[in-house]
Amino acid sequence: MNNKEIPYKIYLEEKEMPASWYNVRADMKNKPAPLLNPATFQPMTAGDLEAVFCAELVRQELDDSTPYIDIPREILDFYKMYRPSPLVRAYCLEKKLDTPAKIYYKFEGNNTSGSHKLNSAIAQAYYAKQQGLKGVTTETGAGQWGTALSMACSYFDLDCRVFMVKVSYEQKPFRREVMRTYGASVTPSPSDTTRVGRQILAEHPGTSGSLGCAISEAVEAATAAEGYRYVLGSVLNQVMLHQSVIGLETKAALDKYGIVPDMIIGCAGGGSNLGGLISPFMGEKLRGERDYRIIAVEPASCPSFTRGRFAYDYCDTGRVCPLSKMYTLGSGFIPSANHAGGLRYHGMSSTLSQLYDDGLMEARSVEQTAVFAAAEQFARVEGILPAPESAHAIRAAIDEAMKCKETGEEKTIVFGLTGTGYFDMVAYEKYNNGEMSDYIPTDAELEAGFAGLPKIKA
Ligand X SMILES: *Cc1c(COP(=O)(O)O)cnc(C)c1O
Pairing of strands 293-299, 362-366: parallel
Comparing CB distances to ligand X, the nearer of 268 and 394 is 268
Residues 138 and 186: beta-carbon distance below 8 Å: no
**Going by C-beta distance under 8 Å and a sequence separation of 6 or more, which residues neighbour residue 380?**
none
304 binds ligand X (CB under 6 A): no
Kindly tell me which residue out of 6, 164, 268, 282 binds ligand X, with binding defined by CB under 6 A: 268
Burial of 377 (0-12, 13-18, 19+ CB in 10 A): middle
Stretch that binds ligand X, among 207-215, 221-229, 261-269, 366-374 (CB under 6 A): 261-269
308 binds ligand X (CB under 6 A): no
Q: Which helix (H) or strand (E) holds 79?
A: helix 73-82
Least Cβ distance, residue 425 to ligand X (angstroms): 15
DSSP 326-344: EEES-TT------S-GGG-
Comparing CB distances to ligand X, the nearer of 190 and 269 is 269
- The contact pattern for ligand X, residues 137-176, with x = CB under 6 A and - = no contact, is -------x--------------------------------
Quick one: how far is CA 247 from the chain centroid? 13
267 binds ligand X (CB under 6 A): yes
299 binds ligand X (CB under 6 A): no
387 binds ligand X (CB under 6 A): yes
Comparing CB distances to ligand X, the nearer of 99 and 349 is 349
234 binds ligand X (CB under 6 A): yes
Q: Cβ of 426: how many Cβ atoms within 10 Å?
A: 12
Stretch that binds ligand X, among 35-43, 183-191, 212-220, 268-276 (CB under 6 A): 268-276
Kindly tell me which residue out of 18, 188, 190, 271 binds ligand X, with binding defined by CB under 6 A: 271
Query: According to DSSP H, which parts of 225-257 are helical?
Result: 237-256
214 binds ligand X (CB under 6 A): no
CA distance to 229, 280, 291, 361, 453, per residue, from 284 (Å): 35, 6, 7, 13, 35
Least Cβ distance, residue 288 to ligand X (angstroms): 27
Query: According to DSSP H, which parts of 144-271 are helical?
Result: 144-156, 166-171, 173-181, 195-203, 211-224, 237-256
Kindly tell me which residue out of 147, 191, 272, 279 binds ligand X, with binding defined by CB under 6 A: 272
Stretch that binds ligand X, among 56-64, 179-187, 264-272, 304-312 (CB under 6 A): 264-272
* 35/456 Cα distance (integer angstroms): 12
48 binds ligand X (CB under 6 A): no
Which positions lie near ligand X, rule CB under 6 A?
A: 115, 117, 144, 234, 267-274, 342-343, 387, 389-390, 418-419
